[in-house]
Structure 1
């Protein structure tokens, strides 16, 4: 794990004007605020003010973390995983993916985690970042497959959902050759990727007869009728994600107003969650998706499925990958990997002993 990097002196953090006291941004922890200030200095533009093509070239919060780490004297820990770029079949052709495997693992098939990245279905790179996949592989002793998926508006809904389901179907055949156990697979994702992970947890089991052992979601996109968990005006200045950004992304994704009620988008309105595996839901306090995340948690709980929900205060959307510089991200990653590891252990302990 990377060492946590102390913030720069306080004077360097006071250059930007303080947000209004009634703004959600006033609640930011100091380390999260510093990441966002660094991000702003990298000439990032709110996505709603640019085009999808240009949005994909914007620096993200992980780029801001990298800028901070450049100034640090802390040494990163020795790499204990190997990472390669592969192609996996999607519904509309091959997709780029990361394949991460822990080094020096015990013999026998390993658990597998499918990590589905964020980007609000629009703004991500074709190849996912390595930060979270490497962390998951290292802490869980698991193979991690992190596929890209087709982006809107060039490929509107339901292209990304079809790609994610296609990856699950492929993995059920490819798990053993990859050195993994198809009966020991977890689904995980953030933002739009969390939406995809939940859909695959439901539809993938129906399509293949194999259910995931755990579902881990961070700040999911859970509905298209956007109802922030705060007075609407207060989320306008939220960064990196405000209400205008969410609505911009949904306009790129959905071609027809009817799509907003599709159960793959309107997760809050679904009632078929009883078959979900054990679920972990992590939410950020300063995120216009907080309200729909809480509503989704309630819907899953009402169905009788097992869910653990945590709201991390003082951090914004996109915090999860920032453990090298944001304390709450370290706690969130520890919670996520602890829950994943417990699910994997329970599966192994339930298997009959070999003669």
Structure 2
């Protein structure tokens, strides 16, 4: 279907990268520009409590933001990883989405401020995110979370990190995860030849050139690109993973790899649901949620999937 008018308005105000031109910004400049692409509303969804704290990580403390719903715990836990190509982004731009999911699903949301490249290249982000999952499993009582009911999720590079956390949980002794929520996840490489990278390379908010730039900063060297803990589509075996909900946008270079990953999960015997949001662009779930009314349907879908995964059903 055609681009949603709200998505077109976002594209129109976003500086375009000229066709065939590489991204040449330094990471700090890119981070500053990134902060101008999203808006936090004055009125935010209500939750019982929001608290910034830090947890132990493999290279020092990891900042996290913990959202607690109304009611009596312990609550299921949803560990969330923000997007930004492993290079930009923070806890702040997912404030609206995290509050919404917390309230609608009745879960403790733990949003993780993992280390960023190029200062901290692969596997820093993946290590921090899995450390956060294990911390929730071992210390859930400290945040009113049930260590036996944990899901992971993220958008874009955060979706990549959620998929990696699920792989690590299977391979490295747990914890057992109830669900992985992968929103527009990075699971393959721009050079893999998928049609969405060709069809939406420029002019649709997230460009192929930007993704290529991220891939010059996150891996330590080209051999990392063969590692499924960097690119989960490189994994030979996807059996035994947590069930997945994969959400994607029609006009997104990353669309096809998310759908391909879900198909491979199903082939491996893992339940995987795919939802494609027609007319939308990258960032619809968290970054641009307050500007794209269709995001509400995506938030509701995630909340329903979490309640179902944790045994609560729909409500």
TM-score (norm 2): 0.89
The reply to whether residue 149 of structure 1 matches residue 90 of structure 2 is no
Are the equivalent residues in 1 in contact too, given 2:79–2:150 (CA < 8 A)? yes
Match of 2:155 among 171, 190, 207: 190
The reply to whether residue 338 of structure 1 matches residue 313 of structure 2 is no
Match of 1:37 among 4, 7, 12: 12
Corresponding residue SS for 1:129: helix
Indicate the larger mover: 131-140 or 28-37. Answer: 28-37
- Return structure 1 stretches of 4+ with deviation > 6 angstroms: none
Cα deviation per residue 1:134-174 (whole Å; 9 max; x = unaligned)?
A: 11111111111001111111111111111111112211221
Within 2, Cα distance between the matches of 1:55 and 1:47?
13
Corresponding residue SS for 2:261: helix
Per-residue deviation, 1:331 = 1.3
Within 1, Cα distance between the matches of 2:200 and 2:158?
22
Task: Name the residue aligned to 1:138.
Answer: 103
Per-residue deviation, 1:47 = 9.1
Per-residue deviation, 1:329 = 1.3
Corresponding residue SS for 1:264: coil
The reply to whether residue 226 of structure 1 matches residue 201 of structure 2 is no
Task: Name the residue aligned to 1:50.
Answer: 25
The reply to whether residue 90 of structure 1 matches residue 65 of structure 2 is no
Are the equivalent residues in 2 in contact too, given 1:228–1:288 (CA < 8 A)? no
Please, what is the CA RMSD of the aligned residues?
2.5
Corresponding residue SS for 2:165: helix
Are the equivalent residues in 2 in contact too, given 1:126–1:149 (CA < 8 A)? no
Within 1, Cα distance between the matches of 2:269 and 2:140?
30
Cα deviation per residue 1:229-270 (whole Å; 9 max; x = unaligned)?
A: 437654332332111000000011112111111111232232
The reply to whether residue 326 of structure 1 matches residue 302 of structure 2 is no
Q: Which has the larger radius of gyration?
A: 1
The reply to whether residue 250 of structure 1 matches residue 225 of structure 2 is no
Name stretches of at least 5 consecutive residues in structure 1 with no aligned partner: 1-25, 71-75, 348-355
Are the equivalent residues in 1 in contact too, given 2:27–2:87 (CA < 8 A)? yes
Per-residue deviation, 1:35 = 2.8
Within 1, Cα distance between the matches of 2:79 and 2:87?
20
Are the equivalent residues in 2 in contact too, given 1:98–1:130 (CA < 8 A)? no
Equivalences, count: 308
Cα deviation per residue 1:108-152 (whole Å; 9 max; x = unaligned)?
A: 411111011101111123766312211111111111100111111
Within 2, Cα distance between the matches of 1:164 and 1:127?
17
The reply to whether residue 270 of structure 1 matches residue 235 of structure 2 is yes
- Over 3 Å counting, the alpha-carbon distance change for 1:314 and 1:95 in structure 2 is same
